């Protein structure tokens, strides 16, 4: 079983890495990029029967800083 956790900064939180990416894209000639927000994707290979509640607890305790980040969990086979 696999879970994919996507972590991103909450709206209103400054994203200096996203701004650096935006600037680099502009300097490379890519036009029309009005904003960039960066995040991370974490893939977990889990034992069969692992519940989404367990993954949520992992996010709350370690995988995401819930003060400034939000996360989305996708459970798959």
C-alpha to C-alpha distances, 16 to 26, 33, 37, 42, 62, nearest whole angstrom? 15, 15, 9, 21, 22
CATH of residue 51: 3.30.1280.10
Residue 19 has a pLDDT of: 97
Give the model confidence (pLDDT) of 50-61 as tens digits.
Answer: 999 999 999 999
Total domain count for the chain?
1
Could you give the CA distance from residue 77 to residue 3 in angstroms, rounded to a whole number?
8
17-41 average pLDDT score? 96
What pLDDT, on the 0 to 100 scale, is given for residue 14? Answer: 96
Q: Which residues constitute the domain of residue 30?
A: 2-76
Mean pLDDT, residues 22-39: 96
Q: With a cut of 90, say whether residue 77 has pLDDT above it.
A: no
Overall average pLDDT of the 17-46 stretch = 97
When the pLDDT of each residue in the chain is averaged and rounded to a whole number, the result is 96
């Amino acid at each position: 079983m696999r879970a994919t956790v996507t972590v991103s900064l909450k709206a209103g939180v400054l994203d200096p890495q996203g701004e650096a990416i935006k600037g680099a894209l502009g300097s490379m000639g890519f036009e029309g990029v009005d904003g960039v927000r960066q995040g991370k994707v974490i893939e977990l290979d889990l034992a069969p029967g692992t519940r989404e509640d367990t993954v949520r607890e992992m996010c709350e305790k370690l995988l995401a800083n819930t003060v400034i980040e939000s996360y989305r969990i996708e459970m798959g086979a």
